[in-house]
Structure 1
């Protein structure tokens, strides 16, 4: 007599078996609803943690950057001046008004951060101009040019528009000083002689000692971000250069061909005439009619910027 053998068990159940086992318990519709709700809760928790993190950074004793929640003015030129909160308030308000009046006249915009808005890690406050420009670019993504103007400088001929005066490519090519030492008098690194105005991204001047930071112009773009990041490198800030960011700038211009290839050096009196200080002997001394009067060092060495600038303020207000 033969008995029927029981069916053999397999370790590979047919597909329907798996589907059948999953159907036991929570219905699929309810399971999907719970999963979606869980995702929503996790997203809300992540958003709350992010919000608290941002609030903590913004209230960090002034060391974090004070961001503004706007997309910028769209102005073709943004004038950036870093304010020292410990300086005389009356003077700094006059400086700000000087830029604002000029900007309103030509359809430009202004940005006035404070030097304690940025974590400089013990470096001199003069370094703040570098992150301030990066900050201004972030706030004004549709603006093309950013003009850094130090508090020791005044726009004394507001009728001159920066765009037509120095930024127009054909005009810029006529102003460019080529085949000249980057650092006078005998640097072996010289400005390029075959650059086109529409390829320039940073415009600087030179006094008798070297490249100036009182007044310079930078074009918006990825190259500008690279340039500012290279300039603000922690190594340079900690290197203890004698003239801080000024010597760091000269270093990167001379040692990085990618920077020199985008740089135009123009006559000092085009945007940075010195009323006092080490003016370029050829073209640096202020004369009436110049666009900018710079009182180099008036905030140091027991001098008084207000006293030195007051006659020029009076002329502008007359």
Structure 2
């Protein structure tokens, strides 16, 4: 009698654990073919110099990190060699490649809904956080106006934008320099097709590229300011939700609570140059935190 009771007490937790695992598996995989992660790499090395050993190692770790995350949830990881992105023979649109890459990956994956761009210097810390939660209910996490932070004091030419009745189809964060494009997500819709075409418009580029220090970032800020239809479907989330910076970045706002990575956050953005030894040290520290967070349950 006692033996049967003990067996029951052992089997019940195991059964609950199994049911919960199955629920999590089917819940995550139900969204698996709808998300593509885009990671820009630099496989050929530097342009002006050879890549350092730290840069090679950081790139290897970053790709492996994203692949593990994609494998866990069944998402597709699209690796793009940014060193070969040359749109026109007479010019090199350096800093503008992301827009063209996203358009191409969308064409290659017609079944997908959300496309999540990540810079190489991002690192997913907590593998148990599923990005699809943000995509399923972006209104829960996003602000509908740039004004919640607005470090550049961006003005809009017309206050009208129907953000109440319009869904969010473009998720982006802001840092001390304005719109941050190190980690952003965009949904494949008629809206995003038109947005990306406008963003990449070669005529627009030719007229303004010499005045835009931050290239595609400045272009997007101008479009946001002047085009109400673009504002209607944009959502702004905190930097920490899409990749908080280390404290050495954005020194203009050292006390900001939304911009910098904190222990327990699920994703970080190193946002520094790996020829700097301090940058590699910060990366190594994050890797140690990641290893502790993602140890197998049987690890002692």
Question: Could you say whether these structures have the same fold, taking a TM-score greater than 0.5 normalized by the shorter chain as the test?
Answer: yes
Q: Tell me if 1:112 matches 2:79.
A: yes
What's the counterpart of residue 178 of structure 2?
210
Instruction: Sort the Cα spacing of 1:90 and 1:131 in 2 relative to 1 into closer, same or farther, 3 A.
Output: same
Kindly provide the CA deviation profile for residues 86-115 of structure 1, in whole angstroms up to 9, marking residues without a partner as x.
Answer: 154332221111100011111211011111
Instruction: Sort the Cα spacing of 1:126 and 1:158 in 2 relative to 1 into closer, same or farther, 3 A.
Output: farther
Kindly provide the CA deviation profile for residues 149-187 of structure 1, in whole angstroms up to 9, marking residues without a partner as x.
Answer: 1012111111100011x1122xx2222224443842532
Higher RCO (C-alpha 8 Å, min separation 6): 2
Q: Tell me if 1:315 matches 2:285.
A: no
Specify every segment of 5 or more residues in structure 2 that has no aligned partner in the other structure, as ranges: 1-30, 46-50, 293-300
Bigger Rg, structure 1 or 2: 1
The count of aligned residue pairs is 241
Q: TM-score, normalised by structure 1?
A: 0.68
Distance in 2 (CA, whole Å) between partners of 1:312 and 1:282 is 19
Q: Secondary structure at the match of 1:243?
A: coil
Specify every segment of 5 or more residues in structure 1 that has no aligned partner in the other structure, as ranges: 1-72
Instruction: Sort the Cα spacing of 1:139 and 1:266 in 2 relative to 1 into closer, same or farther, 3 A.
Output: same
Distance in 1 (CA, whole Å) between partners of 2:190 and 2:85 is 21
Which has more strand, going by share of residues? 2
What's the counterpart of residue 283 of structure 1?
258
Give the superposition deviation at 1:299. Answer: 5.0
Distance in 1 (CA, whole Å) between partners of 2:249 and 2:93 is 21
Instruction: Sort the Cα spacing of 1:199 and 1:303 in 2 relative to 1 into closer, same or farther, 3 A.
Output: farther
Distance in 2 (CA, whole Å) between partners of 1:124 and 1:307 is 32
Distance in 2 (CA, whole Å) between partners of 1:75 and 1:270 is 22
Q: Tell me if 1:91 matches 2:65.
A: no
Distance in 1 (CA, whole Å) between partners of 2:160 and 2:235 is 8
Q: Secondary structure at the match of 1:195?
A: coil
C-alpha contact (below 8 Å) 1:178/1:192 kept by paired residues: no
Q: Secondary structure at the match of 2:86?
A: coil
Instruction: Sort the Cα spacing of 1:303 and 1:244 in 2 relative to 1 into closer, same or farther, 3 A.
Output: farther
CA RMSD of aligned residues (A): 2.6
What's the counterpart of residue 141 of structure 1?
110
Q: Tell me if 1:159 matches 2:128.
A: yes
Distance in 2 (CA, whole Å) between partners of 1:295 and 1:102 is 18
